[in-house]
Amino acid sequence: MHFAQPVLRVFVTRRIPQEGLELLQRAAVCTVSLWDSDEPVPRAELLKGVEGAHGLLCLLSDRIDAEVLDAAGPNLKVISTMSVGFDHLAIDEIKKRSIRVGYTPDVLTDATAELTVALLLATARRLPEGIQEVKSGGWSSWKPLWLCGYGLSGSTVGVIGLGRIGLAVARRLKPFGVKRLLYSGRQPKPQAQEVDGEYVPLDSLLCESDFVVVSCALSPETQGLCDKAFFTKMKTTAVFINTSRGAVVNQEDLYEALTAGQIAAAGLDVTTPEPLPTDHPLLALKNCVVLPHIGSATYSTRGIMAKLTANNLLAGLTGEAMPSELKL
Ligand code: NDP
Ligand code: DGY
C-alpha cells in the first residue's frame, strides 16, 4: 500500500506544552520542525527554520516582521501565535501576503485577571517588602504605621481598556468593596453594565482613581500612553498596575513618578525590555513590584493555549475555519 507523504511543513519556534505539540506531531497533514528549547529561537535560526514553511507557530517573544516573512517565502499560509497579544506580528506585512493569523483570546482571561488582582494586592499591601523584612530581621515588633498600604474597600478603580481581561479584573475586584469602577477606551462597552462601570475620559479616570489598571492592547495609539503627563494626573496615593505590555509605559517617567512621590506604588507584570536587566533602576525601588510576565502562567491555561495554537495552525494549513482567527 502507498501512503502519500505530508507535503506541508510547519516551523515551531519553541518547545510548547505537550498538549499542543502532540496534536501537531500526530497530524497527518504536516511535518514539524521544532526549535526544541525552552529558550527563544535565535534570529538566524528563525530565519533558517521558517524557509519554505507553510505554517509558523510562534510566541510573543518572536518578532515576525517582513524579514521573517520574506525568509519564509510564498508557501507561508498561516501564523499561529501562542498569545492573545499580537503586537509582535507585523500585521500590515502579513495582510499584504494574505497570510492568516491564529491567536489565543478568552482561554487565558481568567488566569491573567487572577494574576492582575494578585499583583494589585501585593503592590498595594506591600507584600514583597513585608516578606523581605521578615527574612532580613527587620521585623522588630507590631508597629502602628509600619508597612501600611492601601485597601480596595470603598475605593475607586480605573481600568484602561475594558476588554476581555479588563472586564474579568473588574468582576474580581468589585466584591472587595470597590465603590466606583471607572473605565476608559475608544468607546463605551455595553458589558460594563455588569460591573456598574462608568465610561469616563482618561483624564477623569486618572484624577479620580485610587487604583489604575492597564489592560489595553499595545498599539501605536497606546504606546507610551503612561507618561509624565499621565502620572502627574494621578493621585499621590494611587497604585498603578500594568499587565498589558511594557511599551504602554514610559519607564523613565514611571521611575520619576515613583521616586518623586507623584504616585504611591506600581506593579508591573510586563516591562521593556523583557527580561528587565537586573540593574534596572525600577528594581531598586521598594514601591515597585515587578513580575516576569506570568499573567497566563497556570499549567492548565498554558496547556489549553498550546492546544488552541496548534488547532489554529492545523485549520489554517487545511484552509478550514480556525477556532480563534484574528480578523485582519
Ligand atoms: P481585548 O482586545 O479584549 O481588550 C483590549 C482592550 O483594549 C479593548 O477593550 C480595546 O478597546 C482597548 N483599547 C484599545 N485601544 C485603547 C486605547 N487607546 N485606550 C484604552 N483602551 C484601548 O484583549 P484582552 O483583554 O484579551 O487582552 C488585552 C491585552 O492584555 C493583550 O493585548 C496583551 O497585550 C495583554 N495580555 C497580557 C498577559 C500577561 O501575561 N501579562 C496575558 C494576556 C494578555 P476596543 O474594543 O475599543 O478596541
Ligand atoms: C499574551 O497572551 O498576550 C500574554 O502576554 C501571554 O500569555
pLDDT tens track for 215-224? 999 999 999 9
Question: CA 200 → CA 22, 156, 175, 187, 233, distances in Å?
Answer: 47, 13, 22, 10, 14
CA distance 301 to 165: 14
Is residue 91 pLDDT above 70, yes or no?
Answer: yes
Confidence of residue 259 (pLDDT cuts 50, 70, 90): very high
**Which residue has the least CA distance to atom 3 on ligand 2?**
85
With pLDDT > 70 as the criterion, what percentage of the chain qualifies? 98
Three-state secondary structure call for residue 288 = strand
Look at residue 7 in the predicted model and tell me its pLDDT. 83
CA of 112 to the centre of ligand 2 (A): 8
Q: Give mean pLDDT, residues 284-294.
A: 98
Average pLDDT value for residue range 139-145: 98
Q: Is 90 exceeded by the pLDDT of residue 233? A: yes
Q: Rounded to whole angstroms, what are the CA distances from 316 to 94, 134, 272, 321?
A: 14, 53, 32, 7
User: What are the grid coordinates assigned to 7, written together?
Assistant: 507535503
In the annotation, is 293 catalytic?
yes
- Ligand 1 — pocket residues by CB below 6 A? 84-85, 105, 108-109, 112, 160-166, 184-187, 215-219, 221-222, 243-245, 269-270, 293, 295-296
Q: Which of 186, 214, 216, 23 is nearest to 102 (CA)?
A: 23
* Burial state string for 217-249 with b = 16 or more CB within 10 A and e = fewer than 16: bbeeebeebbeeebbebbbeebbbbbbbbbbbb
pLDDT value, residue 6: 64
Ligand 2 centroid distance, CA of 243 (Å):
9
pLDDT band at 1 (very low <50, low <70, confident <90, very high): low
Instruction: Report, as an integer, the average pLDDT of 152-172.
Output: 98
Q: Which of 54, 88, 280, 293 is catalytic?
A: 293
For 266-294, what is the mean pLDDT? 98
Residue 2 pLDDT greater than 90, yes or no: no
Spatial separation of the C-alpha atoms in residues 313 and 100, rounded to whole Å = 9
Residue 180 has pLDDT above 90, yes or no: yes
Check: CB of residue 282 under 8 Å from CB of residue 254.
Answer: yes
Asked if pLDDT for residue 63 goes beyond 90, the answer is yes
Residue 116: pLDDT band (50, 70, 90) is very high
Give the chain's radius of gyration (CA, Å).
22
